[in-house]
Amino acid sequence: MQPRWVRWTVIVIVVLVAAALAVSAVPAHGAAPQPPPADATADYQLGGGYATTADVVSRDRTDTPTGRYDICYVNAFQTQPGELAWWRAHHRHLLLRKAGRLVRDAGWPDEVLLDTRTAQRRAGIARVLARWTAGCARHGFDAVEPDNLDSWTRSRHLLTRAGNLDLARRLVAAAHRQGLAVAQKNTAELTARQVRSAGFDFAVAEDCQVYDECGVYQRRYGDHVIEVEYAGPGGAGRAGFDAACAARGDVWSIVLRDRDLRTPGERGYLHDAC
């Protein structure tokens, strides 16, 4: 029989190892999710990462973070261009279909909507997204920007706001456990109660100057909004960007980008911030 002090030593070691493992499961980038700093210079680099002096940077989940405040873009409610084959091979039952045909986003026909109609399918999508956001946290991102929350509006009346919000809540809960803040991406039509229920921490608002929606995000999130205005057809352009900066540039991060989010050196690249 072992002496009592040996048994107690073993117990203490086991407890300490378990505690260390628990701590290591939390991303070092911060267990308590924090929204981006207010009124910071921002850059929106979904078309590919490049050197920047901005304080807040959004990049695709397959890109590398900058080491500043980094936001990880995830196409959460539709397939990302180039990834449909992967979804078909691994999760074909999670793709939305009507009469046997895949339902595509009319504006982005290389993106297929994900099927949020049942709790079982939402749980399946959430498991995929949780693995992706875990990768964001592991690589050093601070927050997640889940796109196409409003896919129900393009679903030919197959999806509902309630189904998408349920998936959003699942995504937010997983990301928060991983130490990541989560953005509401567009979808100004959400009510204040729905925003609170989902648990979003800040907003990324595209073209809110154009659609006169900026006030909605300000009421929901105060200073924690990243506003992206675009040049070119349908965008605010330089004049709209200047107007946005005059109205909110002292409290928000406001970015002007080219619609295709090109990188420096590509023809048509445009970036400005206030």
CA angle 204, 208, 209 (to 5 degrees): 135
The pLDDT assigned to 16 comes to: 36
User: What is the C-alpha separation between 189 and 164, in angstroms, rounded?
Assistant: 13
User: What is the C-alpha separation between 206 and 64, in angstroms, rounded?
Assistant: 23
Q: Give the pLDDT means over successive 10-residue stretches in the chain (274 positions).
A: 44 36 40 90 97 97 98 98 97 97 95 98 98 98 98 97 98 98 98 97 97 97 97 89 95 96 97 96
User: What is the C-alpha separation between 236 and 240, in angstroms, rounded?
Assistant: 4
Spell 26-38 as b/e; 16+ CB within 10 A means b: ebebeeebbbbee
The pLDDT assigned to 4 comes to: 46
The pLDDT assigned to 15 comes to: 32
The pLDDT assigned to 31 comes to: 62
Which of 204, 251, 262, 194 is closest to 229 using CA atoms? 204
41 near 54, Cβ under 8 Å? yes
The pLDDT assigned to 3 comes to: 52
174 near 129, Cβ under 8 Å? yes
Provide the residue type at 245 as one letter.
C
Q: What domains appear along the chain, each with residue ranges and CATH number?
A: 30-273 (3.20.20.70)
